Amino acid sequence: MARSQAKDHDDKRKTILTAAAEVFASRGIVGASMNEVAQACGISKANIYHYYTSKNDLVFDILDNYLGTLRDRICALDLTHPTVEPLHLLTKEFLLLYEGMDNEHKIQTEGLALLSAQQQSVLKGYQREMVAVMDEAVRNSAPATFEQCSTKCRQVSMSVFGMLNWFYLWQPNATKAQRIDYAATIAELTLHGVKGVSIQHEQTG
């Protein structure tokens, strides 16, 4: 039953991943001990080191799974649908993907800083791809406005990420309905708002 053992192995890694994210989120990554993580998993600390070579490798695996999944799902979206507004689709998808992921979301910043340059570049690559998708959706929402000033386009897409990523702080453990509702607010705020954004006359002098 080699297959079954391998499956157990993967299942256990996933269990550690989720439990560790919760411990890290509540006590901080540096502040939490591997013993606390082990206790939350119901296993010994030594057992964790059978699955992960170090605390940092565990942190990387949490963020790699989280951001990698986000990236995959966001990049798989079809934003060319004739009737569905791309920005609406995007904000809704993000907030629904964030559901149940408050812990992973929360430890992003502290975690990234702890990792090696190589590990950081992998995770930042995921983030960059998602920013690119957002950037294009924002640009397409008002092409005439943004072709004159890419600075404004970046400001708007970063504004959307600000709204999305601030959400868990004032609405932790939000329901699906709350997420869908707020996603609509962000999209409407942005789509109507871009009409009022004044463009810098970069070539004026």
By beta-carbon proximity to DNA, the closer residue of 83 and 109 is 109
Of 64, 22, 12, 36, the closest CA to residue 173 belongs to 22
Give the whole-angstrom CA distance, residue 166 versus residue 180. Answer: 15
For its own copies, the binding residue among 79, 96, 101, 189 (CB under 8 A) is 189
Pull the structure tokens for residue 76.
């798989």
For DNA, the binding residue among 14, 33, 72, 132 (CB under 7 A) is 33
Of 183, 185, 193, 93, the closest CA to residue 142 belongs to 193
* Binding at 34: pick from DNA, its own copies, none (beta carbon under 5-8 Å per type): DNA
91 lies in the binding site for its own copies (CB under 8 A): no
Total residues at interface with its own copies (CB under 8 A): 42
Which x/- pattern, by CB under 7 A, does the window 37-76 give for DNA? ------xxxxx-xx--xxxx--------------------
By beta-carbon proximity to DNA, the closer residue of 33 and 185 is 33
Cα radius of gyration (the chain): 20
Total residues at interface with DNA (CB under 7 A): 22
136 lies in the binding site for its own copies (CB under 8 A): no
* Binding at 125: pick from DNA, its own copies, none (beta carbon under 5-8 Å per type): none
Sign of CA dihedral 39, 108, 177, 94: negative
Would you say 158 and 52 are in contact if contact means Cβ atoms under 8 Å apart?
A: no
By beta-carbon proximity to its own copies, the closer residue of 51 and 182 is 182
By beta-carbon proximity to its own copies, the closer residue of 9 and 27 is 27
Give the whole-angstrom CA distance, residue 19 versus residue 117. Answer: 26
Give the whole-angstrom CA distance, residue 35 versus residue 33. Answer: 5
For residue 53, what is the DSSP state?
S
Chain residues binding its own copies by CB under 8 A are: 26-31, 106, 109-110, 113-114, 152, 154-156, 158-159, 161-167, 170, 181-182, 184-186, 188-198, 200
